[in-house]
Amino acid sequence: MIYELDSALTTHFITALRDAESDAPRFRQLVKLLALLLADDLFENGDLTDCDIDTWQGRQRFACLDESNLLIVTVLRAGLPMLEALMEYFPQAQAGFLAIKRDETTHRAKLYFDRVPDCTGKHILLVDPMVATGGSLIDAMEVLKDRGAARISSLNIIGAPEGLERVTKLYPDLDIHIAQIDDHLNGDKYIIPGLGDAGDRAYNTL
Ligand code: PRP
Ligand code: URA
């Protein structure tokens, strides 16, 4: 299922991401903020559980998310600011890393490093700002799908219809929370209008 954000705030921050004047620190800041908006879209009241906390009036029971059950898996490089933001706001969550790079000629994604802890029973938040051909997300799902996770949610910022269709055909049960779906891919498999290469924009390697 694909859930696309629909808010003026999201649109405003995506426009700022598209702005070539947004430098690397600003770009990473916007990616972090959008990661939080996507997490807000993902979690529902039904995900809340009870937690006992020490308040100024003694020990009391309130609603909370089970942070310790969250495993945030990022696709390097561009997904790194999303992971940083979510780890900051869910300090008890665990982190996993997948290094996946698209070949610039064939546009095929290739996994070259995988450091993901035990996934048994976890809710995996798979974070990567871009879904272009969908190859990177498919590679990530290939790694994660048989590792015993209770649930996998994909959080993405911009996607192309072609890549999203490819992913949903292969993984119809995967929930994808995406900030905006753009128009199409160009001949080089970049998203149009998109924002260029997210990894290069985030880390000053244009
Ligand atoms: C970008 C982005 C995605 C991928 C999407 O990574 O972060 O992982 O492209 O494209 P796809 O859907 O066609 O696979 P890239 O390979 O450019 O690496 P980077 O993050 O290191 O720049
Ligand atoms: N990866 C990016 O970072 N941007 C695109 O438009 C396509 C793939």
Query: For residue 176, what is the domain's CATH number?
Result: 3.40.50.2020
In whole angstroms, give the CA distance from residue 8 to residue 26: 19
Q: Does the residue 48 lie in any domain? A: no
Count the domains in the chain: 1
Q: Is 23 a catalytic residue?
A: no
- Residue to mutate (ligand 2; options 76, 137, 191, 201; most atoms within 8 A of CB): 191
Other beta carbons within 10 Å of 161: 15
Domain that includes residue 159, residue range: 2-36+67-203
CA 173 – ligand 2 centroid, Å: 24
> pLDDT, tens digit, for every residue of 125-134?
999 999 999 9
Q: What is the mean pLDDT of the chain?
A: 97
Q: Does the residue 50 lie in any domain? A: no
HSE-CB at 47 with a 13 A cutoff on CA atoms is: 13
Q: Does the residue 118 lie in any domain? A: yes
> pLDDT, tens digit, for every residue of 181-193?
999 999 999 999 9
16 pLDDT higher than 90: yes
Assign 104 a pLDDT band (cuts: 50, 70, 90). Answer: confident
Atom 6 of ligand 1: nearest residue by CA position = 101
194 lines ligand 1 (CB under 6 A): no
Q: Does the residue 106 lie in any domain? A: yes
Q: Does the residue 62 lie in any domain? A: no
CA 196 – ligand 2 centroid, Å: 6
In whole angstroms, give the CA distance from residue 19 to residue 25: 13
> pLDDT, tens digit, for every residue of 132-178?
999 999 999 999 999 999 999 999 999 999 999 999 999 999 999 99
Which entry of 106, 108, 115, 120 is annotated as an active-site residue?
106
Q: Does the residue 42 lie in any domain? A: no
> pLDDT, tens digit, for every residue of 37-95?
999 999 999 999 999 999 999 999 999 999 999 999 999 999 999 999 999 999 999 99
Q: Does the residue 43 lie in any domain? A: no
Q: Does the residue 94 lie in any domain? A: yes
Q: What pLDDT, on a 0 to 100 scale, did the predictor assign at position 41?
A: 98
